[in-house]
Structure 1
Amino acid sequence: MSDKPSVLFVCVHNAGRSQMAAGWLRHLAGDTVEVRSAGSAPTENAAAVEAMREVGIDIAYQTPKLLEYETAESSDVIMTMGCGDACPVFPGKRYEDWKLEDPAGKGIEAVRPIHDEIRARVEQLLAELPHTT
């Protein structure tokens, strides 16, 4: 059992918003937080990978994953991003739904502002997590 907080980012495709959020949290928190991401209908998003690469964060190795009950159940914090009813709810978990534009099908120019907004939200989340300083 780890004493590190675990954060699960969930969006529909686990290719854009949740992958970028996980990338930012890994980059900013190092190994002080267990970072997870998943989606209700996983697919790829090359523009999200490129937008993160531009700021020196490689998320290309992160394969989009299907949201599994056990992953959500064992996470301390669940950040959802437009997955609606596909996101499971567990009593006692911290939940937050980030209203973010979906980068699916958009070019790099449209994805950059989304990844900037995600970074700001991840920085705020990181400041609120225990055991991360």
Structure 2
Amino acid sequence: MAKGFDKHQERLNIVSGFGKNLARRSKSKCELCEATGVKLSVFEVPPSKDEPDYDRCMFLCENCIELLKNIKKSKENDFRFLSGAMWSETPIVKVTAIYILNSIKEKYSWAEELLENAYLDEEENALLETINF
């Protein structure tokens, strides 16, 4: 049991180590809602690979992390900020925004409208297929 715990702790340390580079990449803003002046944390987009992957991590505020944990229970305006994130130059941010919009488009017509303008290249489409919240 201690072996599994140690491995988990090592993984968390590696993921936390991405923080400095993520802060630089995000300019210390939440990469989804662009909030500034709030606590930001490294968020690894599920499912997690065996080895931590910087390219599957985002720097997010606590509000966005909570929203991601309950996408299906979201209220109509919870994810309106995705209209900006879906155009991010960072593939994992862009693809996560598109994933969320796809998840809520049946409930909210505005999400469907945003998706009509979305564009993903082949690599981004492949990445989208790997995401599963």
State the TM-score bracket (shorter-chain normalisation): under 0.3
Higher strand fraction: Structure 1 or Structure 2?
Answer: 1
Structure with higher helix content:
2
TM-score of the aligned structures, taking structure 2 as reference length: 0.28
Q: Which has the higher contact order (CA 8 A, sep 6+)?
A: 1
